Chain A
């Protein structure tokens, strides 16, 4: 399985500021995804991070609010911009690795970033 490191693990931010979350994987992966999990809720896909090109956003999520970078096959960042208390949530990175696991649609998740916006 892939080992995923997400930073920071948690943060408390002021309204109107931005936070960048990093996701580092220990091996090359085909696909990287960013999810949001609001307290006590399920996971909602924000976007697919594409290596070397613009991310693909799901309905309800826009690049201006959640800019994403993926400069190589093992690293991605998600920025939560101009934050409001409604952005308080857990943000999770997931990866679909290359090789046999990829054929099985397997995805591995990081531990998440717990964000509180005051």
Chain B
């Protein structure tokens, strides 16, 4: 059973545009929601993360919006650049001793020059 659903599967954006990737989760015990960025041939790198006690977190051009009641969160990339072209994964985990990450299916972002 997939616990984190991610959309779209692929996204093409013009340089300078806004990229938006959405995720929805089912498990209400999740309390940590990171986004990972993965370039071809590399491992995933933590980009930004949020906890459910805030509705938004911004780091540079990257913003997470979180809607606890809807069990949804999204990644916004402002002023998208060709260097942002990568695969983005949302994920979720619970606090405590386990802390395994449950990943979404991934979004392949292409930013056109």
Residue numbers of A with Cβ under 8 A of B are 4, 6, 31, 33, 41-45, 48, 58, 92, 94, 96, 104-112
For the complex, count residues of B whose C-beta is within 8 A of A: 22
| A4 to B99 CA separation, bound complex (whole angstroms) | 19
Q: Decide: B99 and A96 in contact? CB cutoff 8 A.
A: yes
| A109 to B41 CA separation, bound complex (whole angstroms) | 13
Which residues of chain B have C-beta atoms less than 8 A from A94's C-beta? 43, 101
Secondary structure call for the B interface: loop
- Contact A109:B49 (CB < 8 A) given known A42-B104, A42-B106: no
Number of A-B residue pairs, CB cutoff 8 Å, is 54
Q: Decide: B42 and A106 in contact? CB cutoff 8 A.
A: no
Q: What would be 25 A-B contacts, judged by CB atoms less than 8 Å apart?
A: A33-B100, A33-B101, A42-B89, A43-B44, A43-B89, A43-B103, A44-B103, A45-B102, A48-B100, A92-B43, A94-B43, A96-B99, A104-B32, A104-B49, A105-B34, A105-B49, A105-B95, A105-B99, A106-B46, A107-B46, A107-B101, A109-B36, A109-B45, A110-B43, A111-B43
- Is residue B93 contacting chain A, with contact meaning CB distance below 8 A? yes
- Is residue B72 contacting chain A, with contact meaning CB distance below 8 A? no
| A110 to B42 CA separation, bound complex (whole angstroms) | 8
Q: Decide: B44 and A109 in contact? CB cutoff 8 A.
A: yes
Among residues 80 to 103 in chain B, which have CB atoms less than 8 Å away from a CB atom of chain A?
89, 93, 95, 98-103
- Is residue B105 contacting chain A, with contact meaning CB distance below 8 A? yes
| A105 to B95 CA separation, bound complex (whole angstroms) | 7
Distance in angstroms from B32 CB to nearest chain A CB is 4
| A92 to B89 CA separation, bound complex (whole angstroms) | 15
Q: Which 8 A-B pairs have the closest CB atoms?
A: A109-B43, A105-B32, A43-B103, A111-B43, A42-B103, A42-B105, A109-B44, A112-B43
Given A45-B102, A105-B99, A110-B43, 7 additional A-B pairs, CB 8 A:
A31-B99, A41-B106, A42-B105, A44-B103, A58-B100, A111-B41, A112-B42
Residue of A nearest to B2 (CB): A42
Interface flags for B32-73 (1: CB within 8 Å of A; 0: not) read 101010000111111001000000000000000000000000
